[in-house]
Amino acid sequence: MQQNHKKALQDPIFKILSDAASGLALESYVIGGFVRDYILDRGTHKDIDIVSIGSGIALAEKVASMLPGNPKISIFKNFGTAMLRHHDMELEFVGARKESYQRDSRKPIVEDGTLKEDQERRDFTINALALSLNKENFGDLLDPFEGVLDLDKKIIRTPLEPCVTYSDDPLRMMRAIRFATQLNFEIELRSLQAITENKERIKIISAERTVDELHKIMACEKPSIGFSLLHNTGLLDYILPELTALEGIEEVEGQRHKDNFWHTLEVVDNIAQTTDDLWLRWAALLHDIGKAPTKKFSKKVGWTFHGHEFVGSKMVYKLFKRLRMPLNDKMKFVQKMVLMSSRPIVLAEDFATDSAVRRLVFDAGDYVEDLITLCEADITTKNPRKQKKYKNNFKLVRAKIVEVEERDHIRNFQPPVSGEEIIKTFNLKPSKEIGIIKAAIKEAILEGEIPNEYQSAYEYMLELGKNMGLSIINEKKR
Ligand code: ATP
Ligand code: MG
């Protein structure tokens, strides 16, 4: 039976599209994500793809001329597409086409095609659904590959032979996994096998596009769905070998360490429940990558990963560079999180002293709350007693950070006594004594020996100078 979805096309823009198309005698359809998300009731998809049997660019020009304010259109001649914005929508126009591919590129040879041929070249049956904009059957659903059934069964399936689809454009492997994660769908078995067979072809996809999909997976409610699929199909070895290197449990003389790969995925899922911050989620994904290269076993202490935080933070730079991710403050943030990722754990295992909290705030600065969020997510113990204890302790640490901060203002610490003042007081030439005095004042504040304020720090400086055998040349009058 022919389904009709006029209701999906209630926005006045669809009437304009329909009028423009009939004026040009161009058969036209809304296709792709908009239709899929409408049927899934996922809210309105703001980028609307329109396919016409003939020139998409001509339709875009006609539509623009009919819209108030005559919006500007961007034309991509090479691709035969055009785009225009209307309110909060992005309309993307393309002429129906059929495609054939060559092995070494994801750039196809494109020819004009029918609607069915255009739907065939779409990645998944659920993305090939089209709604008619034509007068005689406005709102009718055209679904030659049973995409609606797949929506119902929650299945990702390709319209054509999966091996051909993925080999033609290996980006589709990433997209399949991304949609499976976003929609919580299963990838059809034949597709999964085809992805596994074609995994190596991911190499022809630019790092930017791959990362774009990774970001989308990372933004999902349960990113582990995507990362498990990337891992099981073997794609992850090509994209993030640092992560797959964490997989496995070794046992020597009866001593085992945990599987840090699956642990990491748990941490990412945990953090996804408490923050939408993409980069904090990346920090969770990468927090243990230093563990593979630092793993050691010794009879005395068992398994250790000495310095893995430092090694891991260095690896972050290389990984970002390889994947052409930004080498900016976002990367520095991830590095800092990885570097400090074990610091708060000691506080949660034991009673957190004021001075330990002050030191943490001093070192983490404005990132301290994010760091605690990461460490809370890092609690994956299956022992309910420990689980509860750690969670509670982190609550106490959070409260203590607020309390200590109100009193001592350690965040973005500025030395209360300046270098110049030290020079003047003792009439020093630039020398290492100045650094020693400054560091000692900072230590005294962090230890809680003196409060973080000028007068106490000044007096402490005079004391220090005396003990170092310096004479006070210019003492401040009280
Ligand atoms: P979303 O916008 O949520 O990512 P979408 O389905 O709208 O989902 P787009 O990337 O906006 O995805 O692409 C629009 C449509 O173009 C898709 O629904 C699909 O029909 C088609 N498409 C996009 N990329 C590919 C591809 N690599 N291979 C085949 N078809 C594709
Ligand atoms: Mg879209």
Ligand nearest to the CA of 175: 1
Sign of CA pseudo-dihedral 430, 413, 462, 432: negative
Residue 85: its H or E element: strand 81-86
Q: How far is the CA of 31 from the centre of ligand 1 (A)?
A: 9
Average pLDDT, the chain: 94
Residue type, 396: L
Q: How far is the CA of 424 from the centre of ligand 2 (A)?
A: 65
Output the residue whose Cα is nearest ligand 1's atom 9.
Answer: 33
Same fold, 6-152 and 154-239: no
Query: What is the position in ligand 1's atom list of the atom closest to the CA of 128?
Result: 20
Output the residue whose Cα is nearest ligand 1's atom 14.
Answer: 32
Domain spanning 6-152: CATH superfamily: Beta Polymerase, domain 2 (3.30.460.10)
Q: How far is the CA of 103 from the centre of ligand 2 (A)?
A: 27
Output the residue whose Cα is nearest ligand 1's atom 8.
Answer: 33
Query: What is the position in ligand 1's atom list of the atom closest to the CA of 169?
Result: 27
Residues with CB under 5 A from ligand 2 (ion): 33, 47
Q: Are 90 and 82 in contact (CB under 8 A)?
A: no
Q: Are 35 and 14 in contact (CB under 8 A)?
A: no
Q: How far is the CA of 301 from the centre of ligand 2 (A)?
A: 53
**pLDDT (mean) for 118-132:** 97
- SS3 labels along 348-378: HHCCCCHHHHHHHHHHHHHHHHHHHHHHHHC
Q: Which of 139, 144, 140, 104 is nearest to 120 (CA)?
A: 144
Rounded Cα–Cα distance for residues 231 and 243 (Å)? 9
- When pLDDT is cut at 50, 70 and 90, the band that residue 477 belongs to is low
**Structure confidence by residue, pLDDT tens digits, 21-42:** 999 999 999 999 999 999 999 9
**Structure confidence by residue, pLDDT tens digits, 259-308:** 999 999 999 999 999 999 999 999 999 999 999 999 999 988 899 999 99
- SS3 labels along 372-412: HHHHHHCCCCCCHHHHHHHHHHHHHHHHHHHHHHHHHCCCC
Instruction: Say yes or no to pLDDT of 59 above 90.
Output: yes
Rounded Cα–Cα distance for residues 234 and 195 (Å)? 9
**pLDDT (mean) for 454-462:** 94
Q: How far is CA 231 from CA 227, 236, 258, 386, in A?
A: 6, 5, 18, 30
Query: What is the position in ligand 1's atom list of the atom closest to the CA of 171?
Result: 27
Residue 298: its H or E element: strand 296-298
Rounded Cα–Cα distance for residues 224 and 270 (Å)? 10
Q: Are 229 and 180 in contact (CB under 8 A)?
A: yes
The pick from 127, 129, 174 for probing ligand 1's pocket by mutation, whose C-beta has the most ligand atoms within 8 angstroms, reads 127
Q: What is the DSSP letter of 60?
A: H
Sign of CA pseudo-dihedral 129, 105, 195, 217: negative
Q: How far is the CA of 51 from the centre of ligand 2 (A)?
A: 13
Q: How many residues does the chain have?
A: 478
154-239 adopts what CATH topology? Hydrophobic Seed Protein (1.10.110)
The domain limits of the chain are 6-152, 154-239, 419-467
Ligand nearest to the CA of 94: 1
Q: Are 145 and 117 in contact (CB under 8 A)?
A: no
**pLDDT (mean) for 354-363:** 92
Q: How far is the CA of 426 from the centre of ligand 1 (A)?
A: 70
Q: Which residues of 188-213 are buried (b: 16+ CB within 10 A; e: fewer)?
A: beebbebbeebbebbeebeeeebbeb
Beta strands 81-86 and 73-76 are antiparallel
CB neighbour list of residue 416: distance below 8 Å, 6 or more residues apart: 441, 445, 452, 453, 454, 456, 457, 458
Q: Which of 81, 112, 84 is nearest to 98 (CA)?
A: 112
Burial of 82: CB neighbours in 10 Å, binned 0-12, 13-18, 19+: buried
Backbone angles phi, psi at 133, to 5 degrees: -105, 5
Output the residue whose Cα is nearest ligand 1's atom 10.
Answer: 33
Q: Which of 321, 254, 319, 324 is nearest to 292 (CA)?
A: 319
Ligand 1: residues whose CB is within 6 Å? 32-33, 47, 49, 122-123, 127-128, 169, 171-172, 175
Q: How far is the CA of 392 from the centre of ligand 1 (A)?
A: 45
Instruction: Say yes or no to pLDDT of 157 above 80.
Output: yes
pTM reported for the whole predicted model = 0.92
Rounded Cα–Cα distance for residues 292 and 246 (Å)? 6
Neighbours of 175 (CB within 10 A): 19
CB neighbour list of residue 469: distance below 8 Å, 6 or more residues apart: none
Q: How far is the CA of 56 from the centre of ligand 1 (A)?
A: 17
Q: How far is the CA of 91 from the centre of ligand 2 (A)?
A: 10
Q: Which of 293, 270, 268, 292 is nearest to 282 (CA)?
A: 268
Instruction: Say yes or no to pLDDT of 478 above 80.
Output: no
**Structure confidence by residue, pLDDT tens digits, 311-335:** 999 999 999 999 999 999 999 999 9
Query: What is the position in ligand 1's atom list of the atom closest to the CA of 32?
Result: 18
Please report, rounded to a whole number, the percentage of residues in the chain having pLDDT higher than 90: 83
pLDDT of residue 1: 58
**pLDDT (mean) for 103-119:** 84
Output the residue whose Cα is nearest ligand 1's atom 26.
Answer: 123
**Structure confidence by residue, pLDDT tens digits, 391-447:** 999 999 999 999 988 888 888 888 899 999 999 999 998 889 999 999 999 999 999
